[in-house]
Structure 1
Amino acid sequence: MENYTNSLTLQIEGLRVTKTSKYPVFFAILFTYIFIMITNMGIVVLIWAEKTLHQPMYLLFCNLSVNDVIGNSLMLPRLLVDITLPPSERLIHYYECVAQAFTGHMFGTNAHTVLMIMAFDRYVAICNPLRYATIMTDKMVLKLTVSAWGSALVLVGILLGLTIRLTRCRSLISNPFCDNASLFKLSCESVVINNIYGLTYTVVLLSSSTGSVILTYSKITAACLISKSKSLNSKALKTCSTHLCLYLIMLISGLIPIILHRYPEYTESRKISAILFNVVPGSLNPVIYGLQSQEISKCLSNIFRRKKVKPAF
């Protein structure tokens, strides 16, 4: 029998790991987390330190790296701690759980909104190259950044606000970490409003990001076909292929756990896919962008060269 409870202590089911697999899984996640922190923070520091990289394209990309750092910092360390504990001792405070869910949804929503403003930047650079400097000013970059984070904050704030109003009658989070669905499933009240808003939120976010990417890339393709300029086509291919690759990685890794939510028999697969949604984009984004960008590659090579050269006295 389920009774209403005001207990602020919740239990997280977490990953089901055996004694033999516990440490391999722990170190795999730990090394991945370290890699995410080093690469993403390194990209941010490099872009801010090198004046040659003070361009809208790189400044906007910093948002993605900052988002990956924040999102993974509040998810993976907690997951690492839970792996070392038996299931009965995986406890979390309700407000910490809400904060974790808020951060997780902000991470996913920001990934979409940031890639949307990056698509706009690529559209202006390729379709209006002569006006690029006048359109993509520092003020415009700031406005786009605020709009990306602000819209995500409002959407996620409403999502979690509808959930925390509910009374709880359960205390088990059947996930490796907290999210909105896990939180409102703790309630025995009607969650129709939560489901309606959650569905609307998902549809609006996905249709907006997918629609903006399709629209901008259609116009970029049309501009390349009309101009028939080899230099323009080369520029479009290099910059747009990187952006499109980042978007597809984020989209696919996000859709898999949503699909698996519909199949209760794949609970463990859903848990792993939810972790991969944080880990895969955070690991690949700086690598793909860093390898594809000639400017970033040049700056990195210059830094390593300076370190190798020792001053002679």
Structure 2
Amino acid sequence: MGQETANQTWVNEFILLGLSSDWGTEVFLFVLILAMYVVTVVGNSLIILLIRLDSRLHTPMYFFLSGLSLVDLSYGNSIAPQMLVHFVSAQKLIPFHSCVLQLYVSLALGGSEFFLLGAMSYDRYVAVCHPLHYTVIMDRGLCLRLAASCLVAGFLNSLMETIITFRLPLCHNVINHFACETLAVLRLACVDISFNKVMVAISGFLVIMLPCSMTLFSYAHIVTAILRIRSTQGRHKAFGTCASHLTMVCMCFGASIFTYLGPRSASSTDQEKMVALFYAVGAPMLNPVIYSLRNKEVMAALRKLVEKFR
């Protein structure tokens, strides 16, 4: 498992405890997670394909949606396949370098998703509050810069968090989690981790609260603008353009704020697992479902694609 030096274990592989030690429960979870993973892959791939093929969807809103689908697809692929293998494996092992890579990639994609949701809220703000200047403000160059900034911010934050996590000497190699997650790995350290916890808290606060603040600012102006619309039909149409995005924002930011910024409890480890599971397979699966079922343009593009192959 590793070399011991001065009562410290330099780990070369980890054991993941997973979600359950009961075989029947693990079989059930395997079937459930597999079904959710298939929906995630098919749904997000289909969203990306539809936006690519249908010229009516070549707008800033769908540009960011395709980016969100790509991030969700990648996020699911960084964790779900390993989970599925471990559900049916006697030994749940993951090599050290694979653990580092998984932590880095999942953190980077998770952070990028939050920033993308913030960028999407700005896009909705411009669409509702400045409709006549929408195409001028949200040009291709700005969209690309916003998307690139979201990815850079997510990956830089992840790099910092990954470095301060794995630079610590580890006394154990058993991770009480189904994946390599920051707090779960920090608990293996042989030294005091107070500084690391503070840095992780600051990092989480910035990654969550910066895009959340942008979202709140945008929707405060959006709601004000919608209330000024005199016709009921106009208000419904304006709100309809934001409904899907607002649903995703409430789910993602709500779960994160409750978990990482809320009060800690004795069951915090189980709570961390449940929220990590939601982000690994739940949110990536729900994204295409929410945006396809609530969006007439996406459904129209899907029908057009189906008719083409009949």
- Pairing 1:240–2:242 present: yes
- Pairing 1:5–2:9 present: yes
How big is each residue's C-alpha offset from its partner over 1:188-224, in whole Å with a ceiling of 9 and x where there is no partner? 1232321121111122222212211111111112222
Q: Please give the secondary structure, in 2, of the residue aligned with 1:131.
A: helix
The 5-angstrom pairing of residues 200-211 of structure 1 reads 200-211=202-213
Displacement of 1:17 in angstroms is 3.9
The equivalent residue for 1:48 is 52
- Choose from 226, 239, 247 the match for 2:228: 226
The 5-angstrom pairing of residues 113-128 of structure 1 reads 113-128=115-130
The 5-angstrom pairing of residues 1-313 of structure 1 reads 3-86=7-90, 89-230=91-232, 232-255=234-257, 257-258=259-260, 262-265=264-267, 267-268=269-270, 270-308=272-310
Bigger Cα displacement from structure 2, 40-49 vs 277-286: 277-286
8 Å CA contact 2:173–2:188 kept in 1: the answer is: yes
| Unmatched tracts of structure 1, length 5 or more | 309-313
| Unmatched tracts of structure 2, length 5 or more | none
How big is each residue's C-alpha offset from its partner over 1:64-117, in whole Å with a ceiling of 9 and x where there is no partner? 11111111111011111111123xx21111111111111221232122101000
Displacement of 1:251 in angstroms is 2.1
Bigger Cα displacement from structure 2, 5-14 vs 265-274: 265-274
Count, aligned residues = 306
How big is each residue's C-alpha offset from its partner over 1:244-276, in whole Å with a ceiling of 9 and x where there is no partner? 101111123434554799334464454234212
- What amino acid is the match of 2:213? G
Q: Please give the secondary structure, in 2, of the residue aligned with 1:187.
A: coil
8 Å CA contact 2:14–2:174 kept in 1: the answer is: yes
Q: CA RMSD in A?
A: 2.1
User: What TM-score do you get using the length of structure 2 for normalisation?
Assistant: 0.92
Displacement of 1:301 in angstroms is 1.1
Displacement of 1:51 in angstroms is 1.4
How big is each residue's C-alpha offset from its partner over 1:112-138, in whole Å with a ceiling of 9 and x where there is no partner? 101000000001111111111111111
Q: Please give the secondary structure, in 2, of the residue aligned with 1:284.
A: helix
Distance 1:261 1:220, change over 3 A: closer
